[in-house]
Amino acid sequence: MEFKIAVLPGDGIGPEISEQGVAVMTAVCEKFGHKVTYDYAICGADAIDKVGDPFPEETFHTCLHADAVLFSAVGDPKYDNDPTAKVRPEQGLLAMRKKLGLYANIRPVETFDCLIHKSPLKDELVRGADFICIRELTGGMYFGEKYQDNDKAYDTNFYSRPEIERILRIGYEYARRRHKHLTVIDKANILASSRLWRQIAKEMAPQYPDVLTDFMYVDNASMRMLQEPRFFDVMVTENTFGDILTDEGSCITGSMGLLPSASTGDHTPVFEPIHGSWPQAKGQDIANPLAQILSVAMLFEYFGLEAEGRLIRKAVSASLDANVRTPEIQVEGGAKYGTKEVGAWIVRFIESSNDISN
Ligand code: IPM
Ligand code: MN
């Protein structure tokens, strides 16, 4: 295949992990005989500083004309601590989602055996937990009508039937490819928008007789995720609930720095780590590049290139087993590797692997 990749390194540790993601992408393409070219574009605080816009038109066009976007992170404390700031890096992310029509955010929550001790949950609860959260990404309160004055404020949780149907369809498709269990998460006892979600899911369920559909209120789901994370296979939910539940999901595995995500929809798909820009670590070569590298695996898998994805996953597991780890996940007494060293180790593993059909 020929890949044209838009690379958006963004802020904080973004550029450092981006570099490793690109190196892995290049190594895998070389190994499997794919062609790849990269177009770099600015976003986030970096773009505000340079051109006053966190998702400039030029960046949008670079993304639009690419086969996939490799995104890293945006965010800078100088904006977090300034409530009067007119433009914020995060608005760039929302603009990217809206303009590229990225309505489906796929966030796998996977455990790595060697990191389970990092989980705040008991080992026996979390071992083997493996589910996917499908978060609706371009609707709900994030984008609904808003109002704010000194005395009152509101955000509207608007959803239309087509928006709900298309994301539920994706939920069902994932469930079919996995363990055939879809949990629709809502707050239908209170919210009209949730009641519509539930009604539409009930209408659609008979089209997927091989999938078990169940419904769970979001408060209950957040509890169940801690009590019995293995209950879940595929969960599907609206934008705000998905934002909250995926943070909870990512930390129960003990490996937040290892979780990638994909956002797909009308135009170019975007692949990115779920963690943020960690500005305090910027330039120190200590950030874990694995979530970014695994987002490259998701990129290949999106294009149906399973062996390529598998080789990346194998290389990542091998690096963990070999204790080639960044400081936050290194075992006691183990040598601490930098972002670059971990990336380089994985690239060498890929280059020297002689079984590309694995
Ligand atoms: C996420 C982030 C974003 C969100 C922020 C940075 C706008 O928390 O991707 O989950 O709330 O969607
Ligand atoms: Mn979030």
**Ligand 1 mutation pick, 80, 88, 90, 133, max ligand atoms within 8 A of CB:** 90
Residue 17 contacts residue 25 (beta carbons within 8 Å): no
As its CATH architecture, domain 1-100+268-358 has: 3-Layer(aba) Sandwich (3.40)
The reported pLDDT for the residue numbered 84 is: 81
Domain range summary for the chain, segments of one domain joined by + = 1-100+268-358, 110-256
Q: Is 142 a catalytic residue?
A: yes
- CA atoms in the 13 A half-sphere facing the CB of 113: 3
**Ligand 1 mutation pick, 135, 243, 295, max ligand atoms within 8 A of CB:** 243
Q: Is 285 a catalytic residue?
A: no
The reported pLDDT for the residue numbered 296 is: 98
Q: Which of 11, 46, 233, 243 is catalytic?
A: 243
Q: Which of 187, 208, 233, 337 is catalytic?
A: 187
Of 265, 244, 247, nearest to 256 (Cα)? 247
Nearest protein Cα to ligand 1, atom 6: 90
Nearest protein Cα to ligand 1, atom 7: 90
DSSP characters for 234-301?
EEEE-HHHHHHHHHHHHHHTT-GGG-EEEEESSS--EEEESS---GGGTTSS-S--HHHHHHHHHHHH
Fold classified for 110-256: Isopropylmalate Dehydrogenase (3.40.718)
Does ligand 1 lie within 6 Å of residue 243's CB atom? yes
The reported pLDDT for the residue numbered 356 is: 63
pTM: 0.94
The reported pLDDT for the residue numbered 187 is: 98
Give the separation between CA 260 and CA 296, rounded to whole angstroms.
9
Find the helix or strand (DSSP H, E) in which 6 lies.
strand 2-10
How many angstroms from the chain centroid is the CA of residue 105? 7
Question: Phi and psi (nearest 5°) for 80?
Answer: -60, -35
The reported pLDDT for the residue numbered 257 is: 82
* Residue environment code for 61-99, b if the CB has 16+ CB neighbours within 10 A, otherwise e: ebbeebbbbbbbbbbbeebeeeeeeeebbbbbbbbbbbb
| Identical fold between 1-100+268-358 and 110-256 | yes
The reported pLDDT for the residue numbered 264 is: 98
Distance 250 CA to ligand 2 centre (A): 10
Give the separation between CA 344 and CA 358, rounded to whole angstroms.
21
The reported pLDDT for the residue numbered 357 is: 60
Q: Is 174 a catalytic residue?
A: no
The reported pLDDT for the residue numbered 86 is: 87
Q: Is 219 a catalytic residue?
A: yes
Does ligand 1 lie within 6 Å of residue 45's CB atom? no
- Beta strand 212-217 with 260-264: parallel, antiparallel or unpaired? unpaired
Digits of tens for pLDDT over the chain (358 positions)? 999 999 999 999 999 999 999 999 999 999 999 999 999 999 999 999 999 999 999 999 999 999 999 999 999 999 888 778 889 999 999 999 999 999 999 999 999 888 888 899 999 999 999 999 999 999 999 999 999 999 999 999 999 999 999 999 999 999 999 999 999 999 999 999 999 999 999 999 999 999 999 999 999 999 999 999 999 999 999 999 999 999 999 889 887 789 999 999 999 999 999 999 999 999 999 999 999 999 999 999 999 999 999 999 999 999 999 999 999 888 888 888 999 999 999 999 999 998 666 5
Amino acid at 200: I
CA 133 vs CA 183, 232, 250, 253: distances in Å: 10, 9, 10, 14
The reported pLDDT for the residue numbered 143 is: 96
